[in-house]
């Protein structure tokens, strides 16, 4: 294996999973490693392979290579292999729990003590042989220690406030539990369970590679990737940076951990790409690692890069959290604009925000306003594709980074794709909307223009979307307007929408237009109050009102 490392620092041998897990050596996933990510797809493939061994005479299953760093305390740090080790451990926990469920305590204890946990002689406290990173370890350990029931895990899978990796761990255990239960006839087939343990521990083999130096481990990891191991961009970059960090590896590892904590493992790929594009322009994902690797060929550059990435992570995290204290010097307007960007969702603009913050922070609010207005025109109303957005924002980022260009040059780049008034108004006149968040936002901004106030938007939590022609019109509405065809055409047209407080909206429910006007007359929002000027409500009324709103909207969302 042609690697630029000391071969004496590496020990490799083919071993079974049972042998690795039964070693009296703690295995731990470092904090900077990605969290558990296997889905039902990967786990079901593994399960099918195990069933082939049991029922179809296949002799073994090769798990590929696993790379570890041996630490001074003799424990092993997982560089590559945590997904496979964690999944096998979950399966063994399922089998242990199955034995417990049918009161076969002797076999349950054997599986637990041999492959899952070590126990301190004095206290008999269980200590899992495999520990995960900080995000996953609490749940994983409780499962391995038999501290979570199936019902507990079901609740975790339904809780969106729980880390996605925790939900994946819970789903993995539940899937394996269901499969083992089915295969063992509700855990009553002791022969099947014993065979399954033997297959898992004796028939799954891998090449265990142990190195005593971090640099050689990360170079080896990258080499394995070049030969077909599937890694994410952040995995590849992390291991490359660590391999080049030399004596400053602890510093680089610490910075990487801070970055992952701020950004979240699931967003690392996007963040790394956006940060790079904010400095070097548009870069395709498949080209990114090679470009970074080419630029970071020396130790000082690696340290400079990780420091820059860490600084950018603070700003990137703050972009997604407008209440972050980072924005205090830029005033309330900055926070409001960031809230609008989050609501509208143009993630392609993040490189430009990064570039502006670091190079020309005095122009930040102007750029944020340009982004908002471009998003409303380009994406929300004209519904254009995202391809041009990314390249335009990347070019604008380069412009913002240059000391030779002024704000106007950057705005001119954005104006290249900014829909002109004629196109915007034409699209606005025909637009239908279904997202209540977008409807509330657009109408709130138009309301601010009508009322002539620069105050805060009306609180979205207090607003309700009013369909003037209701979703389920009563018999008091003209028969033609109650037809399915008419409702499909006009119900969600902008001209048929408005905003009301929740109580007023409830009062309007099922009423005909003349009765609604009495409620509209008491509404504090001009955009709704003005509906009282219409004698009746028809398709002509909807079209007319939408035309009026389109002219106002063209002034609200413009780039001067």
459 falls within a domain: yes
Between these two residues, 198 and 35, which has the higher pLDDT value? 198
Measured over the CA atoms of residue 178, residue 182, residue 185 and residue 187, the dihedral's sign is negative
- Is 548 a member of any domain? yes
In the chain the first and final C-alpha atoms are separated, in Å, by 61
Question: What is the model's pLDDT at position 7?
Answer: 45
Write down the H helix ranges in 30-104: 40-55, 82-101
For the stretch 15-43, pLDDT in tens is: 999 999 998 889 998 876 778 989 998 99
Report, as an integer, the average pLDDT of 363-369: 97
Average pLDDT over residues 291-303: 84
- Domains held by the chain: number: 4
The mean of the pLDDT values for the chain is 88
What is the model's pLDDT at position 536? Answer: 94
**91, two tokens:** 């399966």
> 182 and 39, same structural domain?
yes
For residue 523, give Cα distances in angstroms to 16, 25, 248, 261, 440.
73, 71, 64, 46, 15
Residue 224 lies in a domain: no
Establish if 2 belongs to a structural domain.
no
**Boundary of a domain, candidates 361, 392, 419:** 419
Provide the pLDDT confidence category of residue 560 given band limits of 50, 70 and 90: confident
Sign of CA dihedral 458, 463, 466, 471: positive
Q: Tell me if 288 is assigned to some domain.
A: yes
The pLDDT of 169-179, averaged and rounded, is: 95
**Last residue of one domain, picked from the residues 384, 419, 454:** 419
219: confidence class by pLDDT, cuts 50, 70, 90: low
Same domain assignment for residues 350 and 371: yes
pLDDT above 70 covers a percentage of the chain that reads 92
Q: Give yes or no: residues 504 and 543 share one domain.
A: yes
**Domain ranges, residue 195:** 7-211
pLDDT of residue 6: 47
Residue 131 near residue 33, CB atoms below 8 Å: no
Residue 152 lies in a domain: yes
**Residues 55 and 21 grouped into a single domain:** yes
Flag whether 220 is in a domain. no
pLDDT tens string 113-138: 999 987 665 555 668 899 998 889 99
pLDDT of residue 463: 86
Higher pLDDT, 431 or 1: 431
Task: Between 245 and 177, name the one with better pLDDT.
Answer: 177
Alpha helices in 117-202 (DSSP H): 137-144, 150-157, 164-183, 190-202
Cα separation of 353 and 368, whole Å?
7
Q: Are residues 166 and 268 in the same domain?
A: no
| 411 shares its domain with 392 | yes
Same domain, 399 and 271: no
Whether 536 and 442 share a structural domain: yes
- Tell me, yes or no, whether 264 and 131 share the same domain: no
**Residue 120: what pLDDT?**
64
CA distance linking residue 549 with residue 529, whole number of Å: 14
Q: Is the pLDDT of residue 454 over 60?
A: no
Note the pLDDT of residue 8: 47
According to DSSP, residue 463 is labeled E
Residues 482-506 have pLDDT tens digits of 999 999 999 999 999 999 988 898 8
- The answer to the question of residue 291 being in a domain is yes
Task: For residues 72 and 197, state if they share a domain.
Answer: yes
88 within 8 A of 39, measured Cβ to Cβ: no
- Both 102 and 19 in a single domain? yes
For residues 369 and 464, membership in a common domain is answered with no
Torsion sign, CA atoms 529, 534, 535, 536: negative
């Amino acid at each position: 294996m042609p690697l630029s490392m000391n071969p004496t620092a590496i020990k490799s041998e083919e071993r079974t999973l049972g042998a690795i897990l039964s070693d009296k050596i703690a295995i731990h996933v470092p904090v900077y490693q990605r969290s558990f990510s296997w889905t039902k797809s990967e786990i079901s493939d593994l399960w099918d392979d195990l069933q082939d061994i049991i029922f179809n005479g296949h002799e073994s299953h090769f798990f590929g290579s696993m790379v570890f760093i041996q630490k001074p305390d003799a424990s092993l740090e997982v560089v590559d292999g945590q997904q496979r080790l964690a999944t096998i451990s979950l399966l063994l926990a399922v089998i242990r729990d199955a034995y417990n469920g049918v009161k076969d305590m002797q076999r349950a204890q054997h599986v637990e003590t041999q492959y899952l946990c070590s126990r301190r002689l004095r206290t008999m406290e269980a200590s899992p042989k495999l520990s995960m990173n900080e995000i996953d370890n609490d749940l994983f350990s409780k499962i391995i220690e038999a501290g979570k029931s199936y019902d507990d895990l079901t609740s975790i899978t339904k809780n969106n406030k729980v880390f996605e990796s925790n939900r994946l761990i819970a789903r993995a255990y539940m899937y394996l539990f269901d499969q083992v239960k089915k295969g063992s006839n509700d855990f009553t087939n002791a022969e099947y369970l014993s065979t399954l343990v033997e297959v898992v521990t004796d028939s799954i083999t891998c090449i265990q590679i142990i190195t005593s130096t971090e640099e050689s481990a990360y170079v080896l990891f990258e080499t394995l990737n070049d030969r077909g191991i599937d890694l994410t961009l952040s995995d590849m970059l992390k291991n490359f940076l660590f391999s080049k960090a030399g004596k400053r590896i602890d510093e680089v590892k610490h910075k990487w951990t801070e970055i992952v904590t701020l950004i979240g493992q699931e967003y690392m790929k996007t963040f790394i790409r956006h940060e790079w594009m904010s400095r070097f322009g548009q870069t395709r994902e498949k080209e990114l690692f090679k470009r970074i690797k080419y630029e970071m060929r020396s130790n000082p550059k690696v340290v400079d890069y990780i420091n820059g990435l860490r600084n950018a992570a603070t700003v990137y995290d703050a972009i997604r959290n407008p209440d972050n204290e980072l924005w205090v010097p830029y005033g309330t307007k900055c926070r409001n604009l960031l809230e609008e960007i989050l609501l509208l969702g143009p993630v392609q603009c993040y490189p430009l925000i990064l570039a502006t913050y670091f190079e020309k922070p005095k122009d930040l609010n102007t750029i944020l306003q340009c982004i908002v207005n471009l998003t409303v025109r380009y994406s929300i109303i004209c519904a254009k594709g995202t391809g041009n957005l990314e390249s335009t924002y990347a070019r604008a980022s380069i412009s913002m980074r240059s000391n030779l260009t002024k704000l106007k040059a950057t705005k001119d780049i954005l104006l290249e794709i900014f829909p002109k008034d004629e196109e915007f108004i034409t699209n606005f006149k025909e637009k239908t909307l279904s997202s209540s968040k977008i409807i509330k936002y657009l109408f709130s901004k138009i309301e601010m223009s009508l009322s002539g106030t620069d105050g805060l938007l009306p609180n979205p939590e207090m607003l309700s979307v009013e369909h003037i022609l209701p979703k389920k019109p009563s018999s008091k509405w003209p028969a033609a307007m109650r037809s399915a065809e008419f409702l499909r055409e006009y119900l969600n047209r902008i001209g048929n929408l408005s905003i009301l407080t929740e109580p007023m909206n409830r009062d309007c429910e099922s009423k005909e237009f003349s009765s609604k006007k009495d409620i509209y007359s008491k509404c504090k929002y001009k955009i709704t109050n003005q509906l009282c000027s219409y004698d009746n409500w028809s398709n002509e009324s909807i079209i007319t009102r939408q035309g009026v709103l389109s002219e106002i909207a063209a002034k609200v969302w413009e780039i001067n």
